[in-house]
Amino acid sequence: KDFRTNNRPTWCPGCGDYAVLSSLQKACADLGLAPEEVVLVSGIGCSGKIAQHFGSYGFHSLHGRALPTATGVKLANQDLTVIAAGGDGDGYGIGMGHFVHAVRRNIDLTYIVMDNHIYGLTTGQLSPTSERGFKSKTSPKGSAEEPVKAVETAIVNGASFVAQAFSGDVKQMTRLFEEAIRHRGFALVNCFSPCVTFNKVNTYDWFKEKLVNVDEREDYDPTDREGALRLLHETGGVVTGVLYKQERPVFHEEMIGASEVATVKVDLQLKEEDTQALLQSYR
């Protein structure tokens, strides 16, 4: 039940993605999951490397395509715990179409977005969640665009679990991952995961100063959809905790029927010569 590996991440020292990786490893271990019961599908970007460092089955997929890949995995074998992960550029830029449709279908998986408000791997360009006025290589005079409201988009399109976490609070992040994985249906955890190398505005200190934690508010009701949207508007979205949740049927049960769920299990006990022949066919 150990999700650690011997691979050393190549993230910059201090990158928020380290906290996401260790929180997810701890959450899966605390839930008593076995590595062979979990599949982590990632997109492209610094955050996409997480699948290489997480000790379960993994699939480092195409740019913006973590969600359709993860959807396919879940529909093929509903016994698996499926987690998709990527960055704000990957998920809310090129992957935005997939995001909205996975949300409205209520695919039973957890989607972790490492949101640093910038493209890190390509050395610092404007991303879909960069703030208006943000200066970068591609916006030297400041961004003229409104940031995408991804979390609000998830809520209004019928998401059944929406939370936000911060890499500066590993304890809360771990608890939110556990709750998201236990949730039946599409669970989004948008993680504020600072890029210490290229984003000198949205730093750990910037988040610590501004963040509101709704988990500490006894009067907050996460089943109140209008209340969640109001809170996001009032805080400018800089808020952590479980923002919204509801119970509704999951996609594979709606489509197939709960009693007739077809699980596809493929026997992958390939012989060495079969493997070599398969590899040869791609050369």
* Contacts with 70 (C-beta within 8 Å, 6 or more apart), sequence order: 39, 41, 82, 83, 84, 107, 109, 111
Scanning residues 88 to 147, which ones bind ligand SF4 (CB under 6 A)? 116, 120-121
Tell me, by CB under 6 A, how many residues bind ligand SF4.
12
Scanning residues 194 to 233, which ones bind ligand SF4 (CB under 6 A)? 195-198
How far is residue 247's CA from residue 228's CA, in Å, rounded to a whole number? 16
CB of 110 to ligand SF4, least distance (A): 21
- In eight-state DSSP terms, residue 90 is I
Closer to ligand SF4 by Cβ: residue 56 or 116: 116
Helix (H) or strand (E) holding 42: strand 38-42
Closer to ligand SF4 by Cβ: residue 202 or 240: 202
Helix-helix angle 96-105:66-76, to 10 degrees: 30
Closer to ligand SF4 by Cβ: residue 57 or 204: 204
DSSP H stretches of helix in 157-270: 170-182, 204-210, 225-235, 251-256
CB of 206 to ligand SF4, least distance (A): 15
| Contact pick of 17, 88, 108, 115 for ligand SF4 (by CB under 6 A) | 17
* Stretch touching ligand SF4 by CB under 6 A, among 71-79, 128-136, 191-199, 225-233: 191-199
Binding mask 42-61 for ligand SF4 (x = CB under 6 A): ----x---------------
| Contact pick of 15, 187, 188, 191 for ligand SF4 (by CB under 6 A) | 15
Helix (H) or strand (E) holding 71: helix 66-76
User: Which amino acid, residue 43?
Assistant: G
Which residues of 116-262 form beta strands (DSSP E)?
118-119, 125-126, 161-166, 187-192, 212-213, 239-245
Binding site for ligand SF4 (CB under 6 A): 11-12, 15, 17, 46, 116, 120-121, 195-198
